[in-house]
Amino acid sequence: MRGVGFVLLGALMALPAALPARADARCTPAPAPQSWRGETPAIPVPPPDAPTALNPLTLVLFRHAEKPMRADGVMIEDGNLGADALTRLARLPDVLLGQFGCPDLLVAPNPAVKMRNKATGDYFNYVRPLATILPLAAAIEYPVWTPYGYDQNDALARDLLADRALAPDDKGRAKTVFVAWERTNIGKLVEKLASVGHLAPREGSIDVDGARYACERPTKWAQCDFDSIWLVHIRDGALCLTRRQENLNTAGFQNQCKGAESATDQPAAK
């Protein structure tokens, strides 16, 4: 099994193509929650009781890039990225910045929280989302925060909704957070945001900063789908989900992909 260094090296190999189109010096990171910056593990804050008191927020939720694939089209479940991911890694910074502008924070799962391959019984460090967001982080010179594991959605939801660091800025502008996460847990994170914040699903559409977004219902994220983006607007006690696409698929991978050898969101035993 390849180590953590392999997938991080793959992410770094994509940087030469990503760096020329960096978001220039215009992107400036916001301070992260205090507990994320401490020596000890992060401790989530309790959300306020009233949904209207929650942080207005824009979340850009996306899955990691392509997994390694066997000759039979079955994806290998070892925590790493595959060679097909390099094209996405090189172009993803431009796509995200072009569609959503500068983020305030970048977030990925803590790779120390391991996953288990049910087919082999092996546990692995889940580094794919971190490796996927690294080219963007390097291009705009941002830190990537990894306060929680891929399945610790309740904790992340609480901090996003209620930590003072994620409150609007001095001009009243809501924060924008880019989150690279795991496909099934993206849906669970959205569910936790709604339940923890007592947020109602917004119907119809929402107007944000002069643009209108259609509000949609969450659906199951397909195993071979590495291209979708879930754009989440939280405003006035309601949550609006809008689907977007990276448009970075390669035909060869999509035509061959038959799913993963082991799909699991069970954390490793402590």
Q: List, for residues 168-197, the tens digit of each pLDDT value.
A: 999 999 999 999 999 999 999 999 999 999
Q: What local confidence, expressed as pLDDT, does residue 88 receive? A: 97
- Given a cut of 70, whether residue 265 has pLDDT beyond it is no
Taking 80 as the threshold, does the pLDDT of residue 10 lie above it? no
Residue 60's nearest CA partner among 245, 222, 184 is: 245
| Residue 264, phi-psi category: left (phi > 0), alpha (psi -120 to 50), beta (remainder) | beta
Q: Which residue has the tokens 């890694």?
A: 89
- Spatial contact of 44 and 154, defined as CB atoms under 8 Å apart: yes
pLDDT at 21 over 90: no
| pLDDT greater than 60 at residue 260 | yes
Which residues touch 160 (CB under 8 Å, ≥6 apart)?
55, 57, 59, 166, 177, 193
pLDDT at 129 over 90: yes
Q: Is 89 a domain residue?
A: yes
Section 88-115 average pLDDT? 97
Average pLDDT of the residues in 230-257:
96
Domain membership of residue 67 as a residue range: 48-256
The per-residue pLDDT for 51 is: 77
Report the CATH number that the domain containing residue 61 is assigned in CATH.
Answer: 3.40.50.1240
Looking at the structure of the chain, the number of domains it has is: 1
Instruction: Determine, yes or no, domain membership for 165.
Output: yes
Mean pLDDT of 218-244: 96
Is residue 74 included in any domain, yes or no? yes
Q: What is the mean pLDDT of residues 208-236?
A: 96
* % of the chain residues with pLDDT over 90: 80
Q: Is residue 28 part of a domain?
A: no
For the chain, give the mean pLDDT.
89
CA dist., res. 29 & res. 40, Å (int): 22
How far is it, in rounded angstroms, from Cα 204 to Cα 27?
32
- The mean per-residue pLDDT over the stretch 93-102 comes to 98
Phi, psi torsion values for 175, nearest 5 degrees = -75, 150
Q: Does 202 map to a domain?
A: yes
25 — pLDDT class (breaks 50, 70, 90): low
- Residue-wise burial string across 72-100, b where 16 or more C-beta atoms lie within 10 A, e elsewhere: eebbbbbbbbbebbbbbbbbbbbbbbeee
Reported as a single tens digit per residue, the pLDDT across 39-56 is: 999 999 998 777 778 999
> How is residue 31 written in tokens?
């301070």
pLDDT at 13: 54
- Is the pLDDT at 267 greater than 50? The verdict is no
Assess if residue 16 is contained within a domain.
Answer: no
* Predicted pLDDT at 47: 80
Helix (H) or strand (E) holding 60: strand 57-63
Q: Enter the pTM of the model.
A: 0.89
Which amino acid is present at 245? Answer: Q
pLDDT value of residue 52: 75
Quick one: pLDDT at residue 162? 94
Q: Residue 118: what pLDDT?
A: 85
Which has more confidence, 237 or 11?
237
Structural domain contains residue 150: yes
**Which ranges in the chain belong to alpha helices (H)?**
4-13, 15-18, 85-100, 128-140, 153-162, 183-196, 251-256
pLDDT, position 266: 41
- Residue 201 falls inside a structural domain: yes
Helix, coil or strand: residue 234: strand
